[in-house]
Amino acid sequence: MEWTILALLITTIGFFFWLIAEQKRSLKLGQPAPDFALADQHGKIHTLAGSQGKWLVLYFYPKDDTPGCTKQACTFRDGLHELVDLGAEVMGISVDDTSSHADFAKKYHLQFPLLADNEAEIAARYHSLINLGIIKFAKRNTFLIDPQGKIARIYLSASAERNSNEVIEDLKHLQAI
């Protein structure tokens, strides 16, 4: 019994040290956003440089056609006109493949690119990857990237329901400065 308690205590302490280290590894406001080159649901390659001069909403999500991911995608879809009017484009990223993205986009009438990070490299660069060995998926994190390619806002564990509205409000605020 004493060994079990000791093992649990050591595991808990280890988890907190890992959590602190993970937070220090996260991206920071004002730093250049990590570059990427990924195919969307139509096979078109998108890069960070291709968005230069525009605001970019880059949101990572765990899995196509799941309840939370569908809600988040549809709120970005519904707010897309306002985001475009504010000079922004939206791109979603998950580790699903382009075929899965195509089905998801068609089913929910998503008019923005869904990028396939099959190797989970971009999610890792954005510290938005959960790696469980053979199973990998993206964390629900969103990055608002300014026209110069620098990170303007970070939304960790973004709300699937409120993320789009939060980005719109922050974008309005940032453009008013």
Answer whether 105's CB lies under 8 Å from 114's CB.
yes
Catalytic annotation, pick one of 39, 56, 57, 69: 69
Answer whether 55's CB lies under 8 Å from 171's CB.
yes
Q: Tell me whether residue 69 is one of the annotated catalytic residues.
A: yes
Token pair 């509205």 is found at 165
Q: What single letter denotes the amino acid at residue 55?
A: W
Answer whether 4's CB lies under 8 Å from 93's CB.
no
Q: Is 153 helix (H, G, I), strand (E, B) or coil?
A: strand
Nearest alpha-carbon partner for 102 in 64, 143, 140, 134:
64
Helix, strand, coil shares, percent, the chain, to 5: 45, 20, 35
Q: Is the dihedral of CA 50, 51, 52, 57 positive or negative?
A: negative
By annotation, the residues acting in catalysis are: 69
